[in-house]
Structure 1
Amino acid sequence: MIDHISVGTNDVALARLSYDAVLAELGLRLLSSSERAADYGVSSILFSIKTPHDGQPASSGNGSHIAFSAGKRAIVDAFHRAALAHGGIDAGPPGLRPEYDAHYCGAFVFDPDGNKIEAVTRSSR
């Protein structure tokens, strides 16, 4: 079971402009923030953006992505719109992905630091 996930950022303030909007569409809110990190969740931290502890520049993982659960297709659409409006880069527009599952609806974006994130639902609505 996963407790939380963190991705690196080179600029917490810039990353927050994107993640504050994008994660709000999924029902997550900012729980704490500093110059080095921002933590999101509902009642406990589920997702964080952080500057690397070793002081080196943050970099994204090639081939990795984080998929956030969306309750319905409209939330997948809203996630994608919010991401593009706040510095994200399209990596796959909202839509069905029948190669995964008949009801798999997802949208992919790269955040301002190049981390690939997704919103997905398997709901038929």
Structure 2
Amino acid sequence: MLLYVTVGTNDLERSGRFYDAVLPLLGYRRQKQAEGEIGYGADDDVRCRFWIVEPFDREPATFGNGVTIALDAPSRAAVDAFHAAALANGGTDEGGPGIRPFHPNFYAAFVRDLDGNKLSIVCERPEQAHAT
């Protein structure tokens, strides 16, 4: 349903370093950069699906109260790794990795990026059984 998502930033270079560290953990990498914007996409996609941008109106970027961008993770380990990488790169914890009450396999973590944008990293797959 969604074509792409943008989040505003007041420091594109700093925000780019943050997202360069966390988005590859979900299979996305920086694919485009132009004045005022950086785009991330999967290697097998024809377009960038996640953008960090300086606001077009040149006003300061702000985050939306009640807005959360949920990113699909391929595994619970990827949720854990994203959360840890976000915190290690200056992000703020908004809820550590764990099962949420939405359904039995809703494993998620919540962070805020360097500009205050709230991200949810979610794996809805059952936990992988470990060989013993």
What TM-score do you get using the length of structure 1 for normalisation? 0.96
The match for 1:106 among 93, 108, 129 is 108
What TM-score do you get using the length of structure 2 for normalisation? 0.91
Q: Name the counterpart of 2:8.
A: 8
Unaligned runs of 5+ in 1: none
SS in structure 1 opposite 2:95? strand
RMSD between superposed Cα atoms in Å:
0.8
The match for 1:124 among 108, 123, 126 is 126
Supply the AA of the counterpart residue of 1:58. Answer: A
Deviation at 1:17, TM superposition (A): 1.3
Deviation at 1:62, TM superposition (A): 0.5
Supply the AA of the counterpart residue of 1:5. Answer: V
Q: Name the counterpart of 1:67.
A: 70
Deviation at 1:35, TM superposition (A): 4.2
CA–CA distance in structure 1, aligned partners of residues 3 and 125 of structure 2: 25
Supply the AA of the counterpart residue of 2:109. Answer: A
Find out whether 1:86 has 2:83 as its counterpart: no
Q: State the 4+ residue runs in structure 1 displaced beyond 3 angstroms.
A: none
Find out whether 1:38 has 2:41 as its counterpart: no
Deviation at 1:34, TM superposition (A): 3.1
Percent identity of equivalent pairs? 45
CA–CA distance in structure 1, aligned partners of residues 31 and 97 of structure 2: 28
Count of matched residue pairs: 124
